[in-house]
């Protein structure tokens, strides 16, 4: 069984879908406006939008004859919380770690290596 978090990350894995989300940060957009900057068919964009909607990242509604897309930022909350749990780790300074190991193992330090 696929979790909601897996579905969100799968939707975010594609650069086209990430760009669509970035565009929707500005405002709601008609599907045709979403498709405009991309060199792909409207059908292909519609498939990307369906994946984003299935993940809950966007909602779509018909206004008259036009289908509109709206960003649903709360859908990213679980992914954000999951990613923030990794923020507790400090980045590793490899040079300092190498110096520490050399000192502990009594190895000569050679900047040429």
pLDDT tens figures, 2-55: 588 899 999 999 999 999 999 999 999 999 999 999 999 999 999 999 999 999
- The full set of domain ranges for the chain reads 4-104
Q: What is the pLDDT of residue 76?
A: 87
The fold of 4-104 is Arc Repressor Mutant, subunit A (1.10.10)
Q: What is the pLDDT of residue 1?
A: 42
DSSP string, 64-109: TTEEEEEE-GGGGHHHHHHHHGGGGSPPP-HHHHHHHHHHHTTPPP
Per the CB < 8 A criterion, the answer to whether 75 and 55 are in contact is yes
Q: What is the pTM of this model?
A: 0.74
Helix (H) or strand (E) holding 60: strand 58-63
Q: Which residues pair with 58 in a beta bridge?
A: 71
């Amino acid at each position: 069984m696929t979790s909601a978090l897996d579905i969100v990350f799968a939707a975010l894995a594609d650069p086209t879908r990430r760009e669509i989300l970035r565009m929707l940060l500005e405002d709601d957009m008609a599907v045709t406006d979403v498709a405009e900057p991309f060199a792909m068919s409207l059908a292909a964009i519609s498939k990307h939008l369906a994946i984003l909607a299935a993940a809950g990242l966007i909602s779509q509604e018909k206004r008259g004859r036009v289908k509109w897309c709206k960003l649903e930022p709360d859908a990213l909350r679980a992914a954000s919380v999951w990613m923030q749990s990794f923020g507790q780790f400090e980045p590793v300074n490899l040079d300092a770690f190498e110096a520490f190991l050399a000192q502990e193992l009594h190895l000569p330090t050679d900047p040429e290596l």
